[in-house]
Amino acid sequence: MKRWQMIKLGLILAVYTIVGCVGLAFVYNSTSKTIAQRLEADLQAGLREVFPEATGFTPTDKVKSTNPNIVFDAAYTANGPSGSLGIAVKVHGPSYGGPTTLIVGVSTDGTITGVKVLENKDTPGLGANAASSTYYVDKATKTTFPGQFAGKKLTDAFIVKKDVIAITSATITSRSITNLVQVVGKAASEALGTAGPAPVPSSQSPSAVLPSADTIRSSSKPATSSLPGVSILETSVGTRTGTIVGAIAKAKAKSYDGDVTVLVGISTDGIITGVQILECTDSQGSPILAPDFAQQFAGKKASAPLEVGTNIDAVSGATFSSRGATALVKATADALVKALAGGGL
């Protein structure tokens, strides 16, 4: 008897559920087309906003996100009257109150053409001002928060409160949007082939850190560092008309929360001839890839202490990465001096 009662109740519940689902199916059918059209229209309007002079957009899959939290929903090549104008990417990534979706346009000359906020779930009146067309970070020029990115060079630092004006009381929103724009900018510029501050492959660059050499060959005896955690990946020797003028090493070590890879050149008299920061995977470390930072090392004596704050200037916003890179340069230079002194390269 009790079992029958339960089956009966279950059937009644099933009837209500089925009726409800059928009703929903009808509503879904009648609205899904409109909703899809709205989303498509939003996307097209956003693409036009970042590339006003484009004649059309073709989907592309060349652009890849380097950050697992930041997802590229779609990427388009903007077609102009005479070839490609650049790449527009629809991207979403985490922000204060949930994911934020943007359209970011990157032109072939390595600048951001525009940023449009499609969706932002941050605090109304604060973070949500990112999507507002009447909230100005610069009232004099009527620049909105996303508007300030238009025309920005990809080689800029992209640091909120330094070269990006924050939204009042919404620093987290400002940071996450800035980060999204920068990630898209980098990925797009790589796809476009306009490498801004992008790492230069080491095979092309050794001569740049040891300009006095006319031939670079790989060393027969690799340099080794006595410091734990520093691994020297490649050692090369620079010669000029057959005589050794210096040595070059590519080395890698842990930095703030990622790794930093540098290329250090040193002359036989123990002077650092040049440094390149090849890669930095720290979360806020990319500014140290700027050539200005690495240029500070050239001409310094390898035996002298190298310290951020005394004879090396940190890149603002990336102090820890600056320190990590400096320590690695010092360790690599020491290793090279030792290797040069030991001979047999």
How many residues bind other proteins, per CB under 8 A?
27
- How far is Cα 19 from Cα 23, in angstroms, rounded to an integer? 6
For other proteins, the closer of residues 45 and 195 by Cβ is: 45
| Minimum distance, C-beta of residue 37 to other proteins, in the bound complex (Å) | 9
What does each C-alpha distance from 293 to 252, 316, 319 come to in angstroms?
17, 11, 11
Q: Count the neighbouring beta carbons within 10 Å of the beta carbon of residue 125.
A: 11
Contact between 44 and other proteins by CB under 8 A: the answer reads no
Binding of residue 12 to other proteins (CB under 8 A): yes
Q: How far apart are the first and last CA of the chain?
A: 94
138 near other proteins (CB under 8 A): no
Q: Are 259 and 279 in contact (CB under 8 A)?
A: yes
Report the nearest approach of other proteins to the CB of residue 44 (Å): 14
* Residue 25 contacts other proteins per CB under 8 A: no
According to CB under 8 A, which one of 1, 3, 16, 241 is a site residue for other proteins?
16
Tell me: does residue 71 bind other proteins (CB under 8 A). Answer: no
Q: Is 9 in the site for other proteins (CB under 8 A)?
A: yes
Stretch that binds other proteins, among 120-128, 154-162, 198-206, 264-272 (CB under 8 A): 120-128
SS3 162: coil
Distance of closest approach, residue 125 Cβ to other proteins, in angstroms: 4
Which amino acid is located at 66 in the chain?
Answer: T
- Kind of pairing, strands 83-95 and 98-107? antiparallel
DSSP-assigned beta bridge partners for residue 252: 231, 261
49 binds other proteins (CB under 8 A): no
DSSP 310: T
270 SS3 class: coil
Q: Does 119 bind other proteins (CB under 8 A)?
A: yes
143 binds other proteins (CB under 8 A): no
DSSP 61-98: -----SSTTSEEEEEEEEEETTEEEEEEEEEEEEETTE
Which element (helix H / strand E) includes 324?
A: helix 319-342
Nearest to other proteins of 21, 195 (CB atom): 21
Interface with other proteins, residue 137, by CB under 8 A = no
Q: How far apart are CA 54 and CA 114, in angstroms?
A: 13
State the nearest-atom distance from the C-beta of 120 to other proteins, in Å. 9
Among 7, 23, 109, 307, binds other proteins (CB under 8 A): 23
Contacts of 22 (CB under 8 A, 6+ apart): none
Q: Which residue in the set 87, 112, 115, 128 belongs to the binding site for other proteins (CB under 8 A)?
A: 128
* Biggest CA pair distance of the chain: 103
Query: Contact region for other proteins (CB under 8 A) — 5-13, 55-63, 251-259, 272-280?
Result: 5-13
Per residue in 25-41, is it b (16+ CB within 10 Å) or e — as a string?
Answer: eeeeeeeeeeeeeeeee
Q: Binding to other proteins (CB under 8 A): which residues in 79-98?
A: 98
- Does position 4 bind other proteins by CB under 8 A? no
CB of residue 303 to other proteins, shortest distance in Å: 56
Q: Which residues bind other proteins (CB under 8 A)?
A: 9, 12-13, 16-17, 20-21, 23-24, 27-28, 31-32, 34-35, 38, 42, 98, 119, 121, 123-126, 128, 134, 169
